[in-house]
Amino acid sequence: MVTAVRALIFDFDGLLVETELPIFQAWQRIYREHGHELPIDQWMTTIGTASAAFDPFEDLQHRIGSALDRANVDRLERDYYRELGALQTLLPGVQDYLRDAHHLGLKVAIASSSSRKWVEEHLERLSIGPAAWDAIVCREDAVRTKPDPALYLEALRRLRVLASEAIAFEDSINGIRAAHDAGIFSVAVPGQMTAGQDLGLASLRLSSLTEMPLRTLLAQVGQSRPDPAN
């Protein structure tokens, strides 16, 4: 006997939409305008979380040895991101998964370390606004962001499902750690920025959601995860 999956919980940045590469490129442009290179190893620690120790603004100030206007830098980052990210669409396979989840009667949610404003603005642009989701949990909804499991635990609470009844989809080590620590079967789907990360903690790794249809994934999850009561 196996536990039936009742819900799918998706990360947002880099999983539903490739926002992570344009954000990196925007900051990289700002660094280069000041004669420096954005340290990729430190940047990688920020992906999937809002609580990373690395702050590119503070780091750049330190490198140039003088104070910067944070409001001006933030404006540049927003402007450059809009240039790079305005044409970003849903990543391959996402629409199929959402459609099939609906047909199968599965609940769908987002668990993101990003702000609600950021997530919902993108969802509206992509015509899959808040009404299309059973729950949207963002950094305002938990005391801590990923890699802490708090966002996932809140998503489970709002969906009214057990951890054993959900599947989490993530692209980063911070997200995979959060799902793992929440006790949720996790599927790693790395993006361009996270393909080199060690995602071995994930229950399953896919190169893209197009690699495995949802029905096939559900069958595989059912075979690999026994009912905890048995």
In 86-185, alpha helices (H): 94-104, 116-125, 150-159, 173-181
**Residue 202: partners with Cβ closer than 8 Å, 6 or more residues away:** 170, 176, 180, 186, 187, 188
Active site includes 13? yes
Distance separating alpha carbons of residues 110 and 169, to the nearest angstrom: 9
Distance separating alpha carbons of residues 78 and 48, to the nearest angstrom: 19
Is the Cβ–Cβ distance between 175 and 10 less than 8 Å?
Answer: no
Given the residues 11, 134, 148, 171, select the one marked as catalytic. Answer: 11
Given the residues 13, 134, 148, 171, select the one marked as catalytic. Answer: 13
Q: Which residues are catalytic?
A: 11, 13
